Amino acid sequence: MSTAVSDNDTSSGPQQAGPKPPPVPEGSRTVTLKIQRFNPEFDEEPRWESYDVPALSTDRLLNLLHYVKWYLDGTLAFRRSCAHGVCGSDAMQINGVNRLACKVLMKDMLAPQGKPTVITIAPIKGLPVQKDLYVDMEPFFEAFKAIKPYLITYGNEPSKERIQSPADRERFDDTTKCILCACCTTSCPVYWADGSYFGPAAIVNAHRFIFDSRDQGAEERLDILNDAEGVWRCRTTFNCTDACPRGIQVTKAIQEVKRALLFKRV
């Protein structure tokens, strides 16, 4: 699904010059990327490194990371795959908030003319860092799998399709947009403090099925989320809603699951 843009060389050279950089395009400005680096083979602690990169206002932040990777320091490791905000691979903490690097536009990041632009980039919080900007996503996917993110039905299969009215489809439309990038889950203070909390993404995906009129597994999923590590850990900090690159109203979805537990079942 996602590709780790990493290399296998084991040398820890601080700055390895790659191929000759392309000519700096006209109208570009120099942007400083301050990136948190961590190589488990050599570093005890993460360290910060700064790179000066030419940027056009039409660039995305991902272009700048590529520039670092391809021309300045080939040892930089980060994930990206589609580079168009669909695969959800390049979630990272950019200037203190979780964003997809491929959806952050430089025109929104450049400081006013004459002032230097410094962009801080760190891996998403709460998941173990494997190298530089990429983290072990396994705990995140475990929580996702635990809420049974697939259609559950009982009884005979219908001979044709499972019909659903537009209104019923609308009920869970927002939560179908999730791309599992982990921006929301790793923006959650509760998740940072306690990794056993299911986290917003898992609840969003549970919501997608709980409120699907075709699905019959709502009770099972609500039972799972009624757990001590379930929806009740949510403190409505709204960091997840702010972080979601798909604009999903994450906190609203979590609140709907809470209310389903409170009122629909006795």
Partner 1 sequence: MSTTASPATGTGAAQGARRSRRRGTFYKGDPGMWSWVAHRITGVLTFFFLFAHVLDTALVRVSPNAYDEVIATYKTPLVNLIEVGLVGAVLYHALNGIRVMLVDFWAKGPKYQRPMLWVILGVWVLVMIPGTYYMLERTVTEMFGG
- Site residues, partner 1 (CB under 8 A): 34, 36, 38, 40, 45-46, 48, 93, 95-97, 104, 108-112, 117-120, 122-123, 125-126, 128-129, 187, 189, 192-195, 235-239, 241-242, 249, 251-252, 255, 258-259
What is the DSSP pairing of strand 29-37 with strand 117-122?
parallel
Q: CB-wise, 2 or 130, nearer to partner 1?
A: 130
Largest Cα span, the chain? 69
The nearer residue to partner 1, 129 or 178, going by C-beta atoms, is 129
Closest CA to 5 of 179, 135, 122, 134: 134
Distance between CA atoms of 195 and 143, rounded to whole angstroms? 10
> Taking the complex as a whole, how short is the minimal distance between the CB of residue 15 and partner 1, in angstroms?
20
Q: Tokens 């009740």 identify what position?
A: 232
One-letter identity of residue 190: V
**What minimum distance in Å lies between the beta carbon of 208 and partner 1?**
17
At its nearest, how many Å lie between partner 1 and the CB of residue 265? 16
Give me the least distance between CB of 173 and partner 1, in Å please: 16
User: Helix or strand or coil: residue 225?
Assistant: helix
User: Cα separation of 175 and 240, whole Å?
Assistant: 13
Q: Which is nearer to partner 1, 154 or 263 (CB)?
A: 263
If you count them, how many residues does the chain have? 266
Edge-to-edge order in the sheet of strand 47-55: 47-55, 29-37, 117-122, 91-94, 97-100
Give the N- to C-terminal CA distance of the chain in Å, as an integer: 41
CB of 239 to partner 1, least distance (A): 5
Q: Whose Cβ is closer to partner 1: residue 37's or residue 217's?
A: 37
- Nearest residue (CB) to partner 1, 221 versus 258: 258
Residue number, 98 or 217, with CB nearest to partner 1: 98
Q: Report, in Å, the least distance between residue 171 CB and partner 1.
A: 13
